[in-house]
Amino acid sequence: MTSISANLQAVKSRIVAACAAAGRDPGRVSLLAVSKTWPADAVRLAAQSGQRAFGENYVQEAVAKAAALADLDLEWHFIGPLQSNKTRPVAEAFAWVHSIDRLKLAERLSMQRPAGLPPLQVCVQVNVSGEASKSGCTAEQAPDLCRAVAALPNLKLRGLMAIPEPAQESAVARRRFGDLRALRDRLNEAGMQLDTLSMGMSDDLEDAIMAGATIVRVGTAIFGARARA
């Protein structure tokens, strides 16, 4: 067994244990393997162990990797900050975008989504850490942004995503994840149908699952420590 396949098994065991502790069905939490900075060969090893969904942060790197792995049936998720002038390759090559933080980005992705592909699945990224983080819209902006994104023809709004500031204490992480969950619940009570909470990474996936995460985004615990961000 390669270390990647052993690591994948270990992460899946953590997910199953966290679901048991939370009284949740492990079938409702999916694992996104974050492969940013790792070569296509590492992704191939993870795919050989049965992993299909991979998350990437950098457009050029991701597009090159997807092309090198085109023989595999993989699902690519864009999870990093996205510049408006780099949306086209993302609209063409990805299945999901988790980092929608402004309407202009969503409009361009919808316009550029090729006609033959299913709608691009998207999450609105919310800054649940206030001053401590710059990425994502504010919780106050989220309802209007969600409504506008949900109305775009070639996107399917699935839910919310957050990257809380690194917390020393579990209690802080849990509060941030709880805030995102509460926001999603409020939007659904107001008539939206958001089934996805993309939250939790290598260090805090248990807290995220406890708070209701449906996608955890895990890099380091699968591929090892990155040399760069």
Residues that bind ligand PLP (CB under 6 A): 34, 36, 57, 79-80, 163, 201-203, 217-221
Q: Which is nearer to ligand PLP, 147 or 165 (CB)?
A: 165
Q: Which is nearer to ligand PLP, 114 or 166 (CB)?
A: 166
- DSSP-derived letter for residue 84 is G
* Residue type present at position 37: T
Q: Which is nearer to ligand PLP, 142 or 213 (CB)?
A: 213
In the complex, minimum distance from the CB of residue 87 to ligand PLP, in angstroms, rounded to a whole number: 17
Exposure string over 131-155, b if 16+ CB within 10 A, otherwise e: eeeeebbebebbbebbeebbebebb
In the complex, minimum distance from the CB of residue 204 to ligand PLP, in angstroms, rounded to a whole number: 9
Tokens of 200: 């939790």
Q: Which is nearer to ligand PLP, 150 or 201 (CB)?
A: 201
Q: In angstroms, rounded to a whole number, what is the distance separating the alpha carbons of residues 199 and 208? A: 6
Tokens of 143: 């309802």
Shortest-Cβ-distance residue relative to ligand PLP: 219
In the complex, minimum distance from the CB of residue 222 to ligand PLP, in angstroms, rounded to a whole number: 8
Tokens of 229: 């961000």
In the complex, minimum distance from the CB of residue 70 to ligand PLP, in angstroms, rounded to a whole number: 24
Q: Which is nearer to ligand PLP, 34 or 90 (CB)?
A: 34
In the complex, minimum distance from the CB of residue 125 to ligand PLP, in angstroms, rounded to a whole number: 8
